[in-house]
Amino acid sequence: MATQESQPLDVAAIREDFPILQRRVGGEVTPGTIGQDVPDGQRVVYLDNAATTQKPEAVVDAITEYYYGYNANVHRGLHHLSQEASVAYELAHDRVADFIGASGEREEIVFTSNTTEAENLVAYAWGLNELGPGDEVVLSEMEHHSSLVTWQQIAKRTGATVRYIRVGEDGRLDMEHARELIGPDTAMVSVVHVSNTLGTINPVSTLADMAHEQDAFIFVDGAQAVPTRPVDVEAIDADFYAFSGHKMLGPTGIGALYGKKHILEEMDPFLYGGDMITKVTYEDASWNELPWKFEAGTPRIAQGIGLDAAIDYLDDLGMENVREHEELIAEYAYDRLSEFDDIEIFGPEPGPDRAGLVAFELDGIHAHDVASIMNDHAVAIRAGHHCTQPLHQKMGITASARASFYVYNTREEVDALIDAIDDARQLFA
């Protein structure tokens, strides 16, 4: 069992930055109760961080400061407020580039709504033009729907074929099978860095080498990786890498796509409209420089500024400390859940290739019922197929319960989860 080691983070101090963690919840939600403490309610235990994380006051303050102090559109005005907004928005791109090790800086960072939009951007702007009959896109069986469905549909339009790297019973990719699949016909490998269901940390650098040996590109879905561990896109040698701000203390509605500059330069835009052009006539148009040619219309200004603040907060904590804390809490949860014979845990055992989330099945009780009983105890977890429906079918289940952890979670909250599971067990006995 995980021991009470020295803690990499001062969690008590961190929790003070998140007022929502002090909320007391319970009972039926009605329009008049949204955001209000429930009399005699229980303090929320938030273990749904793989879906979205809570936001510290510093992030909320940065967004508020923009709206109160220099709210204006970017790249479209000579007045002072527009200049301030433009500088802040551009610096947010630079901040993201530095955070993930992109030496090309802002030219290689496109702001999107989320990881899903980033995947669609590449699939439509690159895939529709480059794929055709005889080409293959290689995914893994643990892909999120944002990858699986997107490339599936692009393949239908282009005549390309989608192939899937097997997931073994231990929750790891079959790398021998990967080497068999990634061959001369492969044009794109799209793989999740960290599985949002199994917690598996995939060897994306090795997969990148396999892809490049065949002159193929690799797209890495980093939605569960960038928030929880140091990521260096150039060390990975990813051609494309995407993640979402809301899973790393940032606001919703903001994500980032990293792309190697020379590839992005050759791609046509995904969306058309204002700000992504340099010249427009009644007959034709020419495109703006990177990254703006991929950011049509009024962009996600406040969200980008909020993401910048979230990165500052994480940098102050230290991403190695974030990784270590998350994995310690997840290991403790894994060990506690392993005490019971009627619980099956999915994914690898704790170790260097497992991240900080735990999906499980309680024998004889549907995951939705488990989550509902958790809610009675003010414990927030996820239940369902987690946008990995084919993976769940492969595992022989329709749904799983998932607890996922972040910088503000504690062992005591894991104990609260275990107590609530015991209540579910007794109710369905």
pLDDT digits (tens, 9 = 90+) for 154-212: 999 999 999 999 999 999 999 999 999 999 999 999 999 999 999 999 999 999 999 99
Q: Does 296 share its domain with 350?
A: no
Q: Does 49 share its domain with 165?
A: no
Q: Does 209 share its domain with 348?
A: no
Q: Which of 315, 344, 368 is the last residue of a domain?
A: 315
Would residue 39 count as lying in a domain? Answer: yes
Would residue 153 count as lying in a domain? Answer: yes
Q: Does 36 share its domain with 16?
A: yes
Q: Does 354 share its domain with 299?
A: no
Count of residues in the chain: 429
From first CA to last CA, the distance across the chain in angstroms is: 27
Q: Does 180 share its domain with 295?
A: yes
- Which of 104, 61, 59 has its CA nearest to residue 407? 59
Q: For the chain, give the percent of residues with pLDDT over 90.
A: 91
pLDDT digits (tens, 9 = 90+) for 329-364: 999 999 999 999 999 999 999 999 999 999 999 999
Domain extent at residue 421: 11-55+318-427
Give the C-alpha distances (Å, rounded to integers) separating 314 from 250, 307, 351, 356.
10, 11, 23, 16
- Contact present, 329 and 405 (Cβ < 8 Å): yes
Number of domains in the chain: 2
Residue that wins the pLDDT comparison between 270 and 2: 270
Q: Does 247 share its domain with 306?
A: yes
Would residue 5 count as lying in a domain? Answer: no
| 85 Cβ contact partners less than 8 Å away, ≥ 6 residues apart | 66, 70, 71, 72, 73, 74, 301
Q: Does 309 share its domain with 324?
A: no
Would residue 3 count as lying in a domain? Answer: no
Q: Does 77 share its domain with 49?
A: no
Catalytic member of 2, 128, 365, 387? 387
pLDDT digits (tens, 9 = 90+) for 73-130: 999 878 999 999 999 999 999 999 999 999 978 999 999 999 999 999 999 999 999 9
pLDDT digits (tens, 9 = 90+) for 44-86: 999 999 999 999 999 999 999 999 999 999 998 789 999 999 9
Q: Which of 315, 330, 358 is the last residue of a domain?
A: 315
Would residue 385 count as lying in a domain? Answer: yes
Would residue 119 count as lying in a domain? Answer: yes
Beta strands in 222-297 (DSSP E): 240-244, 255-259, 277-280, 285-287
Would residue 4 count as lying in a domain? Answer: no
Rounded mean pLDDT, 300-326:
98
Q: Does 235 share its domain with 358?
A: no
Q: Catalytic annotation on 84?
A: no
User: According to the model, what pLDDT value does residue 5 have?
Assistant: 55
Q: Does 304 share its domain with 359?
A: no
Q: Which of 256, 286, 315 is the last residue of a domain?
A: 315
Would residue 18 count as lying in a domain? Answer: yes
Q: DSSP secondary-structure letter at 127?
A: I
pLDDT digits (tens, 9 = 90+) for 359-400: 999 999 999 999 999 999 999 999 999 999 999 999 999 999
- Which of 365, 316, 358, 309 has its CA nearest to residue 337? 358
Beta bridge partners of 186: 136
Does residue 3 register a pLDDT over 60? no
pLDDT digits (tens, 9 = 90+) for 272-304: 999 999 999 999 999 999 999 999 999 999 999
Q: What CATH number is attached to the domain comprising 366?
A: 3.90.1150.10
Q: What CATH number is attached to the domain comprising 90?
A: 3.40.640.10
| 415 Cβ contact partners less than 8 Å away, ≥ 6 residues apart | 336
Beta bridge partners of 137: 162, 188
pTM value > 0.85? yes
Token couple for 232: 């260096």
| Residue 378 to residue 261: CA distance in whole angstroms | 46
| Residue 99 to residue 106: CA distance in whole angstroms | 12
Q: Does 269 share its domain with 390?
A: no
